[in-house]
């Protein structure tokens, strides 16, 4: 029996398979595949521009899900449902694994190939990704100048502004420490959450106590480790981003005007949850 005949017979033996979709929703309808798959519109005739566009489309979709999950985790932590937040935060870590691996695909683009269509990008750059900035905002890293980029796009600006003015993931984690009885500085609990978090001795002591008494504070210990998982993967993502850019364009200035590799190296040193890293030295 040929493979084609075997497949045909297998298909025909599945009596319940639906084939009449004249008045029914299909897989493509549900996912709006016509819209999704027609969005890869290159500006050059170069073969590898498709790779460049799809990698960035996929990354933006993963960023959208990352934001959705972190915002869900924030809400769960605020209502003291830590177990629900753990599932969402674990999902974020798995999403990050996918995003890290995507750099390996993009790194198959050689410098010579990229130069064939790079000038078509103009000043467009991943630096302008508002979803990436939203991820930073929901994690607690607030950079006000980013809002200026989107002044001509009111809907995006309002979305960013809302996240900018709202507590980030670490803010609600610290509030949980206080709610569980740890003596967190009052000024920290009432701080302006639109400012980037600066590490605090009372938070460090709380995490140190939790990590030295894991059985007593098991849920809070899990929360701490879920945050470390996300930060660890985020740093890996940043590093792979930086090395991919270096591999493809070296130390050229980015299309958006940044210093490129130089800028990406600087942000590697930033921590969202600093005390959770500092206590490892002090345990």
Model confidence at 109: pLDDT above 80: yes
Q: Which residues are annotated as a binding site for substrate?
A: 52-56, 114, 118, 255
Q: Which residues are annotated as a binding site for heme?
A: 241
Q: Contact at 8 Å (CB) between 113 and 249?
A: no
Please tell me the predicted confidence (pLDDT) of residue 157. Answer: 94
Please tell me the predicted confidence (pLDDT) of residue 267. Answer: 83
Residue among 91, 101, 163 at smallest CA distance from 133: 163
pTM for the model: 0.89
CA distance 214 to 208: 10
Q: Which residues are annotated as a binding site?
A: 52-56, 114, 118, 241, 255
Q: How does residue 209 score in pLDDT terms, banded at 50, 70 and 90?
A: very high
CA distance 242 to 106: 12
Average pLDDT (257-263) is 78
pLDDT in tens, 33-77: 999 999 999 999 999 999 999 999 999 999 999 999 999 999 999
Q: Contact at 8 Å (CB) between 254 and 114?
A: no
Tell me the range of 99-108, 145-154, 258-267 where mean pLDDT is highest. Answer: 99-108
Residues counted in the chain: 283
Q: What's the half-sphere exposure (Cβ side, CA atoms, 13 Å) at 176?
A: 27
Q: Contact at 8 Å (CB) between 92 and 230?
A: yes
Residue 56 structure tokens? 């960035």
Alpha-carbon distances, residue 53 vs 57, 65, 73, 91, 115 (angstroms): 6, 19, 30, 25, 15
Select the more confidently predicted residue: 205 or 18. 205
Model confidence at 2: pLDDT above 70: no
pLDDT in tens, 210-230: 999 999 999 999 999 999 999
């Amino acid at each position: 029996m040929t493979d084609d005949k075997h497949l045909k017979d297998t298909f025909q033996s599945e009596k319940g398979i639906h084939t009449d979709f004249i008045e029914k929703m299909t897989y493509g309808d549900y996912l709006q595949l016509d819209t999704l798959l027609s969005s890869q519109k290159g500006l050059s005739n170069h073969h590898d521009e498709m790779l460049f566009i799809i990698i960035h489309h996929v990354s933006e979709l993963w960023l959208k899900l990352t934001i959705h999950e972190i915002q869900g985790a924030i809400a769960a932590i605020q209502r003291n449902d830590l177990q629900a937040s753990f599932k969402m935060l674990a999902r974020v870590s798995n999403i990050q694994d996918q995003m890290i691996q995507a750099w390996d695909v993009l790194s198959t683009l050689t410098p010579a190939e990229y130069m064939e269509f790079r000038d078509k990008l103009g000043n467009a750059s991943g630096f302008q990704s508002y979803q990436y900035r939203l991820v930073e905002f929901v994690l607690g890293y607030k950079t006000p100048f980013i809002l200026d980029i989107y002044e001509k796009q009111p809907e995006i600006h309002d979305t960013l502004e809302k996240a900018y003015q709202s507590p980030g993931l670490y803010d609600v984690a610290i509030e949980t420490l206080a709610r569980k009885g740890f003596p967190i500085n009052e000024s920290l609990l009432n701080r302006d959450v639109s400012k980037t978090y600066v590490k605090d001795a009372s938070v460090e002591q709380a995490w140190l106590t939790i990590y030295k008494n894991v059985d007593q504070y098991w849920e809070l210990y899990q929360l701490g480790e879920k945050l470390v998982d996300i930060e660890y993967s985020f740093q890996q993502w940043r590093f792979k981003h930086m090395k991919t850019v270096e591999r493809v364009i070296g130390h050229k200035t980015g299309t958006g005007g940044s210093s490129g590799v130089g800028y990406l190296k600087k942000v590697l040193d930033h921590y969202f949850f600093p005390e959770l890293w500092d206590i490892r030295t002090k345990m």
